[in-house]
Homo-oligomer: A and B are copies of this chain.
Amino acid sequence: MNFKASIIAGFLKGEIEGDPDIEVNDISKIEEGRPGTLSFLANPKYEKYIYETSASVVLVNKDFKPEKPVKATLIRVDNAYEAFASLLDLYQQSKPQKKGIHKLASIHENVQLGENLYIGDYAVIENNVKIGNNVKIYPQVYIGENVKIGDDTVIYAGVKIYEGCIIGSGCVIHAGAVIGADGFGFAPQDNNNYRKVPQVGIVVIEDNVEIGANTTIDRATLGTTIIRKGVKLDNLIQVAHNVEIGENTVIAAQSGIAGSTKLGKDCMLGGQVGIVGHLTIADKVKIAAQSGVISDVKKEGEILQGSSAIHFKDYWKSYLIFTKLPELRKQLIELAREVKELKNSK
């Protein structure tokens, strides 16, 4: 389907500079722009590409001032990245949507199904599950007994949700994620072995949460592991039993949160971060990639780095000296020599 620049500009409430009748039917990165595609320029680092791109139409910020001639037709908008994201939304919504309940889905007894569902082949929906409207459940998904799933949620292929867990509305759960496996709880016995502590709690995932591929969120020992609304979890993250993650907190891939820790809202964790159990982390805290947190963080907005983590500026000051330790030791040895000389010369 072709769209004229003028139609796109109208939709985005933008201003055209160039040919309003030029047509596009696909999108492209500005550095890989092809004729007939629409691209965007938001990050100034990429400005050089706008002078070379073959994209037919480029979205730019209102205040963009080209330093050289630009071949493409420009559409000026308030925020080129946001505008482009809106078009991506449209683009994705225009694709044919999966729907219907595949005849090879296995739906058990007393299941409540909403309207306008997609349930793929070889999905298993156990007894007493309740699924809202417009939910998409891809093939080979497992939904355990008594699970509840809110409206408009998308669950990709092969996700496993253990019994009793509750998933909100507008969530996206990527392939291979496991929700509600047993927390890691074992009571040490006299003979060095362990007795499993039954994990009878659940996982609650509130609305608009996104969960990455192969991420694991364990059920509570007792009570609930809670992922608050708006949280975004990347791939391969570990969330242990009884953890609570506050609203709109964002966590990058391969991070792990140990049991019963409570993360505030609006936090940001880099990749491969570890947080030990039973801690409380304040709101808006940022933790740099690969850091390890071993005590409560009480200060809102604190920024931490290192293993174990300290204030990031202190970390960098120390780390810089770490890289120069051989020099520092040399200075110390030299100084000791001089002091010895001074003492001897007395």
Contacts and interface: CB of A to CB of B under 8 A. Distances in A.
A329 to B, nearest CB: 6
A216 B222 contact: no
Contacts of A115: none
Interface residues of A, number: 104
Contacts of A338: 339, 343
A118 interface: no
A256 interface: yes
B235 A238 contact: yes
9 contacts: A102-B106, A124-B140, A140-B140, A140-B160, A160-B213, A178-B214, A184-B212, A184-B235, A213-B216
Interface of A: 27-29, 32, 81-82, 85, 88-89, 91-92, 102, 104, 106, 120-122, 124, 138-140, 142, 144, 156-158, 160, 162, 172, 174-176, 178, 181-182, 184, 186-187, 192-198, 200, 208, 210, 212-214, 216, 218, 222-223, 230, 232, 234-236, 238, 240, 247-248, 250, 252-254, 256, 258, 265-266, 271-272, 274, 276, 289-290, 292, 307-308, 310, 314, 317-319, 321-326, 328-329, 331-332, 335-336, 338-339, 342-343, 345-346
